[in-house]
Amino acid sequence: MSEPPGDDRLLFDVRRDVARVDGVMSQIIADSAVADEFVRDPNVVLSRLGLHPETSREVHDRVNSIFYAILTNTELLDIVLEHFSDFDTRTSENAPILEAALGRGEVQNSVDIDMAAVDHILSSPDFMRRVFSVTLNDLNARGLLAASHTTQELDDYVSELVQAVVDRRPVSEHPVLESWDENYGVGKEYGVGFFEVVTPVTVGVTVEGLAYLTVYNHTYTYTHQVVERVNDLALRGDAEAARHLKTTGALMRLAGEVMMHAYNITSS
């Protein structure tokens, strides 16, 4: 997928942020202390590294709670897996980019492939409606939103939000259900909205914040295809292969720690 048309302001917003994700995740997995902090306090880390704006401790806590609630929403995960069951991830196109990056101790994926996943979302208003509805009703039931909303209020809001996405309106013009501060809320650029719910669930692992759109989908598939060859090279003294294994291991460790923390805090 090439650059979005100049009048498609929504895709311009999305592509801008997707392009920044790999660099931030590379910084997180490069330092085990930062990775451990990310597990405990993800939004603070994303803010410090420049992916999310700074905010109050109260809003950080709300966003973190939503992050983990979305991770453990199995109904949402099932909807996403069903929608993306026929999506062509074009792993062979992305593999050379990712392999070279892992050899440098970094994570890098094709933005075009990520944007193709976004297109797959935009092609189905019904899918977006289901995702927003399931997400918001679950967060509302768990008491994680700032106010309690009726089912009708949420239904009406979802209809407005999906229409805004279908119309390709920029995120700054999307309807807002809740405003937690200048940048965060439901329908704002950060918190719960097109960026923070629909885009990340394209990986089939429902998390907030774009980070896992590129990182886990492509890297997990790729790793299982090449690990034996890379391990053999590392054992033969290939420094690039050794960095490849270290980076991949750090990424998989982070994924496991995040998921375990999510289930621990939502089941307690």
Tens of pLDDT along 207-251? 332 233 334 444 444 444 455 555 554 455 667 667 777 777 777
Tens of pLDDT along 205-218? 333 322 333 344 44
Q: For the residues of the chain, what is the DSSP string, one character each?
A: --PPPTT-HHHHHHHHHHHHHHHHHHHHHH-HHHHHHHHH-HHHHHHHTTSS----HHHHHHHHHHHHHHHT-HHHHHHHHHHTTT----HHHHHHHHHHHHHTT-----HHHHHHHHHHHHT-HHHHHHHHHHHHHHHHHTT-SSS---HHHHHHHHHHHHHHHHTT--GGGS--SEESSSSEEESSSEEESIIIIITGGGGSS--SSSHHHHHHHHHHHHHHHHHHHHHHHHHTT-HHHHHHHHHHHHHHHHHHHHHHHHHHHHH-
Any idea where the domains of the chain sit in the sequence?
9-90+112-215
Q: What is the mean pLDDT of residues 46-64?
A: 93
**pTM of the entire structure?**
0.78
Tens of pLDDT along 22-45? 778 888 888 999 999 999 998 999
